[in-house]
Amino acid sequence: MARFAVRRLAGMVVVLFAVSVLLFLVFTVLPAQNPAQQLAGKNSTPQLVASIEEEWGFDDSLPEQYLSMMGKVLTGELVSYRPRVDVLEQIVERIPATLSLSIGAAVIWLVLGLALGYVSAVHAGGPLDRLLTGVAVAGISIPVFLIAPVFLYVLSYQLGIFPSGGYVPLTENPWEWFTHLVLPWFTLAILMIGIYGRVLRSKMLDTMNEDYVRTARAKGLSERQVMTRHVLRNSLLPIVALFGLDFGGTIAGTAIITESLYSLDGVGNYAALATANFELPPVMGVALYGAFFVVLLNAVADIAHAYLDPRVRLGEDAS
Amino acid sequence: MSAPLEIAGLRVGFATEDGLVQAVDGVDLELRAGEVLALVGESGSGKSVTAQTAIGLTGAAGVRIEGSVRLGGEELLGADEEVLRGVRGERIAMVFQDPMTSFNPVYRLGAQVAEAILAHRPRTSKAEARAQVVELFGAVGIPDPERRVDSYPHEFSGGMRQRAMIAMALALEPEVLIADEPTTALDVTVQAQILELLGRLNRERGLATLLITHDFGVVAEVADRVAVMYAGRVVEEGTLDEIFYDPQHPYTWGLLGSTVRLDRERPRRLPQIGGAPPSLLELPPGCAFRERCPHAFASCGEMPPLAARLTDEPGHRDRCWLEPAAKRERRQVEGRIGLEAPGR
């Protein structure tokens, strides 16, 4: 088990290295604007630009620049260009909003998605299954940028049930925290509910044909015991791996759109603004700390998968 | 006292896009206490469907079941799901063909056996169930049972898994054991061990065992009686000796003739039964075997009943119009039993 975890974490370092090199190259080899020029302002003299280049090291060779930037990432000394503030501090400040959003959404999509898939699979082919399939497909098909305005217009503007955006820390007012997050949560979760429902349903239908399910029936288990202990339990294995990817992907991707749409000042929003301004340090910071988090989550998912599947855990093949 | 398991007039049909597939077409079987009845036939002859229907596991959509399955006199066909659930594992236990896939890979073997006990005896504590499983593992010859109950299926060899499967089947001391090709997926030496185990348990525990197989070698090893199935029907039924030394139905001759025997000189080329089994979608009227039977004659267009035709063997029944004397003559091929064209 320990060896498995170590192997997985070593792979993670390689992935992070590749991500950082790629990002660095995208921002330095394809510059939209000279960062020194940007820092110096519009009406700057060439001398000022040159001195800024000197000060920030923009005239060093690319490998040197990369190494110095990585040094700053590792020591948490990244500084953004304008305003000149500490990137790590900015990110840490926004983490609670982003985690509130993504963890809440993940809980909703897991609970509802798995319930949807389970009920569909148990009633496969029946009218309830067809109805739920329609719901799932609708959820998958509606884009986030459409859900959010509709939610905001109907539930916030017209009916006034929920606030229209912003973030209230949990420690400040738990009820306000909750009401401000309900719409963003569902906006993020709706797509995933549909996907998880479909994936679990099809996996369960496959599993139902396994010999061990027939064995479970033959030993006299009730239909519900057969479904939960044997069919559902085994069908959850691929869901765990999928969830590790999707949860990371949500934090790194989808949450950015949702945060922008609901003016939630989270890490995603910070990264979106920095990208728009072509500021490398915040983007590098968010991407690398984010990638670290995503890869860590994947490793956790893999370890969880290994824990749930003894064939992986014990490192033997399941002949 | 009625026999532990009586199957009468069982018909199982599956509705498919092409029509109704009559997988089982009027099967009568009586399984007696303490005996091993071998149900023999090639793939698709309906032997497994017969067994699965007996415990109500043929529940697919579009299945049509008629007839009667009685367990100790109690009708199971059409019984409540709750009643059937109580029967499965508790009174009729099953051992399946492939021990590689018949256990759930994510649970420990002992826990899976204990699950059967707990499903029927909910008041048993986990520790008691475990102790019972350890004892069962010992009884079926799994070495070091105390430790092995905590193994996962993939840590067991095929033969050991099948022993665990048999332990699970015996856990609740059922009256009837249905073993569906229990040795087919195992290698030959392990096959012999598993058969020896099944035979011993059958004697020791007074079980009634229905052994489904396509292998006459397996039949010879453990069976007391044999029923031969072809195209969804029983075509011949008798004691082991009757079937092996005085087979009445030409299909049985063909099966016996195509079996390799160590006590006989090996024929130049292992004989086979010509042709292929008929489509179960549209069985022609009359004997289903007549298309492949070199001895077929006009009467075969009409279905012969499963009847005893030998005065000295009252329990020996078959479905063939040929006269017993003619059968004894025609099945002799080069000094052995076989199904070859007459006059060759």
Residues of B in contact with A225 (CB under 8 A): 119
For chain A, how long is the longest CA-to-CA vector?
Answer: 86
Yes or no, beta carbons of A220 and B94 under 8 Å apart = no
- Give the minimum alpha-carbon distance from B92 to chain A in angstroms, rounded to a whole number: 9
The partner residues of B36 in beta bridges, in order of sequence, read B209
Q: Provide the CB-side half-sphere exposure for B158 (13 A, CA).
A: 17
What pLDDT, in 10s, does the model give residues B166-200? 999 999 989 999 999 998 888 888 888 889 989 98
Tell me whether B186 touches chain A (CB under 8 Å): no
What pLDDT, in 10s, does the model give residues A224-253? 999 999 999 999 988 988 888 888 888 777
Token pair for B327:
């059968």
Give the residue with greater pLDDT, B76 vs A58. Answer: B76
Output the CA–CA distances (angstroms, integers) from residue B295 to B189, B250, B319, in the order listed. 38, 8, 14
Residues of A in contact with B93 (CB under 8 A): 218-219
- Give the minimum alpha-carbon distance from B52 to chain A in angstroms, rounded to a whole number: 9
Give the residue with greater pLDDT, B344 vs A36. Answer: A36
**pTM of this prediction exceeds 0.95:** no
For position A127, what pLDDT does the model report? 92
Least CB–CB distance from A218: residue in B81, B89, B155: B89
For position B271, what pLDDT does the model report? 78
Residues of B in contact with A220 (CB under 8 A): 85-90, 116, 119-120
What pLDDT, in 10s, does the model give residues B228-239? 999 999 999 999
For position B344, what pLDDT does the model report? 44
The SS3 of residue B10 is strand
The SS3 of residue B308 is strand
**Beta strand B332-333 pairing with B317-318:** unpaired
Percent pLDDT > 70 in chain B is 96
Residues A204-209 have a mean pLDDT of 93
Answer whether residue A121 shows pLDDT above 70.
yes
Token pair for B147:
């430790």
Yes or no, beta carbons of A218 and B94 under 8 Å apart = yes
What is the average pLDDT value for chain B, to the nearest integer?
88
What is the enclosing helix (H) or strand (E) of B176?
Answer: strand B176-180
Cis amide linkage into residue A281, ω under 30° from 0: no
CA distance B69 to B56: 10
For position A317, what pLDDT does the model report? 43
What is the enclosing helix (H) or strand (E) of A117?
Answer: helix A87-122
Least CB–CB distance from A220: residue in B102, B105, B116: B116
Chain B residues 306-335 within an 8 A CB cutoff of chain A: none
What pLDDT, in 10s, does the model give residues A19-78? 888 888 887 776 666 777 777 777 778 888 888 888 777 778 888 888 888 888 888 888
What pLDDT, in 10s, does the model give residues B6-57? 999 999 999 888 888 889 998 999 999 899 999 998 888 889 899 989 888 8
Taking CA–CA distances from B171, the nearest residue in chain A reads A219
Q: Which of A279-283, A285-289, B95-99, B317-321 has the highest mean pLDDT?
A: B317-321
Taking CA–CA distances from A318, the nearest residue in chain B reads B154
Answer whether residue A316 shows pLDDT above 50.
no
Least CB–CB distance from B98: residue in A211, A221, A230: A211
Answer whether residue A318 shows pLDDT above 60.
no
Q: Which of B96, B106, B115, B121 to mutate to test the interface with A (most CBs of A within 10 A)?
A: B106
Report H helices in A30-86.
Answer: 35-40, 46-56, 62-75
Other C-beta atoms lying within 10 Å of the C-beta of residue A179: 14
The SS3 of residue A3 is helix
**Are the CB atoms for B163 and B201 separated by under 8 Å?**
no
- Give the minimum alpha-carbon distance from A196 to chain B in angstroms, rounded to a whole number: 22
Answer whether residue A192 shows pLDDT above 50.
yes
DSSP-derived letter for residue B303 is: P
Answer whether residue B98 shows pLDDT above 90.
no
What is the average pLDDT value for chain A, to the nearest integer?
85
Percent pLDDT > 90 in chain A is 27
Tell me whether B105 touches chain A (CB under 8 Å): yes
In this predicted complex, what is the ipTM?
Answer: 0.86
Residues of A in contact with B100 (CB under 8 A): 319
Tell me whether B158 touches chain A (CB under 8 Å): no
CA distance B158 to B160: 5
**Are the CB atoms for B221 and B191 separated by under 8 Å?**
no
pLDDT band at A319 (very low <50, low <70, confident <90, very high): very low
CA distance A270 to B160: 60
- Give the minimum alpha-carbon distance from B168 to chain A in angstroms, rounded to a whole number: 8
Phi-psi region at A22: left, alpha or beta (left = phi > 0; alpha = psi -120 to 50): alpha
What pLDDT, in 10s, does the model give residues A144-178? 788 888 888 888 888 888 888 888 888 889 999 99
Taking CA–CA distances from A237, the nearest residue in chain B reads B106
Residues of A in contact with B179 (CB under 8 A): none
Q: Which of A215, A230, A232 to mutate to test the interface with B (most CBs of B within 10 A)?
A: A215
CA distance B167 to B79: 27
Asked whether the CA dihedral A48, A51, A56, A61 is positive or negative, the reply is positive
Residues of A in contact with B90 (CB under 8 A): 220
Least CB–CB distance from A215: residue in B81, B103, B106: B103
Tell me whether B42 touches chain A (CB under 8 Å): no
